[in-house]
Amino acid sequence: MCTSGKQVTPRWTRPRRSTTRFPPTASRLTALCLAAFAFTIVLARPLMCEPAQGPVQLLERSIEAMERQDSLLADYCYMKTVVTEHLDRKLNVKKREEQLVRVTSVPRGPDVEVVVAVNGKPLSEKEKRDEADRRKRQSGGAAQAHLRPEDLLTQFDWSFAGTERVNGRPATVLRFRPRPGAVYDGKDSNAEKLLKKVCGRLWVDDEELVITRVEFESTGQVKSMGGVFWTVRTFSVREERKRLDDGVWIDSAGEYFVDATALLVKSIVRRSTMHTHGYEKPLRPSTQ
């Protein structure tokens, strides 16, 4: 259950924006829950400092460390295995698909993701062209939502929710829910709708102040164009990150669920899991 925390007027230094794309077709609506919050990429480089005074201040420190972590991740490559189950209204599995995706991290922007195999088979030439067309459409900026890290500070109430261990490391748990009466000053209606309909928790690593786990879920329906384009009845997301030997924190696992309707009649119920592997550290120019 999501509970409200004490409202705190946030202090933050400079605005930054992360871009999360919303694919325009019904076949890609599953990505809505994957992209519901750009703040799931707000990860920090190791940063030692005194304990924060409150939940908002602790969150601020993670946001301010984002740029350092972002530079470490530049051009980092890894593989991601995504298993998606297409369900009926009773949650029975109708179809199961496994994709192998190559991910290249991009500073200050969405990562480049290329599907290289489906159900263990490399893409055919036609599938490769279709995949290239999909990436081109997304890079063109169609149907994208802008979710800014500073929105975390202004649109939610935050509270402490205890301490736990994530992958053996102690972490502080923060709980969040929409702040009553918060005014969204952005220009993206999809982002505003999402921000008002989610609650959840973040786990912040005590030593390095990075967000190591995030869980959130919808608190009500989210509609586009009054439900004509799509209506998301419910969605949930759980993601974890792990620290590699070189100090980089990277996505490691995720669980996703979405129950939606596209174009008023098409039912879309998806359950997905993902895990990453095959990390390739980018070659850095010698400083000597």
- The confidence score (pLDDT) of residue 26 equals 38
Average pLDDT over residues 57-85: 84
**Strands (DSSP E) along 8-152, which ranges?**
18-21, 77-87, 93-104, 112-118, 121-122, 144-147
| Range with lowest mean pLDDT among 80-89, 126-135, 198-207, 220-229 | 220-229
Average pLDDT over residues 205-226: 86
CA–CA distance from 115 to each of 130, 181, 278 (Å)? 10, 42, 15
CA 87 to chain centre: 22
CA dihedral of 62, 64, 65, 66, whole degrees rounded to 10: 90
Strand partners, 211: 204
- Measured CA to CA, the distance from residue 36 to residue 202 in angstroms comes to 15
Average pLDDT over residues 4-33: 38
Q: Which residues contact 150 (CB under 8 A, 6 or more apart)?
A: 12, 15, 16, 63
**Position with higher pLDDT, 72 vs 224:** 72
What is the helix (H) or strand (E) element at residue 224, kind and residue range?
A: strand 222-224
Tell me the backbone φ, ψ of residue 42, rounded to 5 degrees. Answer: -80, 85
241 pLDDT higher than 70: yes
Asked if residues 36 and 216 have their Cβ atoms less than 8 Å apart, the reply is yes
- Measured CA to CA, the distance from residue 152 to residue 272 in angstroms comes to 25
Average pLDDT over residues 177-189: 80
Asked if residues 251 and 279 have their Cβ atoms less than 8 Å apart, the reply is no
CA dihedral of 255, 17, 107, 42, whole degrees rounded to 10: -40
| Tokens 């923060």 sit on residue | 174
Average pLDDT over residues 32-55: 44
Q: What is the mean pLDDT of the chain?
A: 76
- Confidence category of residue 269, pLDDT binned at 50, 70, 90: very high
Q: Which residues contact 139 (CB under 8 A, 6 or more apart)?
A: none
Tell me the backbone φ, ψ of residue 29, rounded to 5 degrees. Answer: -65, -20
| Distance spanning both ends of the chain, measured CA to CA | 54
283 pLDDT higher than 70: no
**Tokens linked to 179:** 């702040």
Annotated domain spans of the chain: 31-279
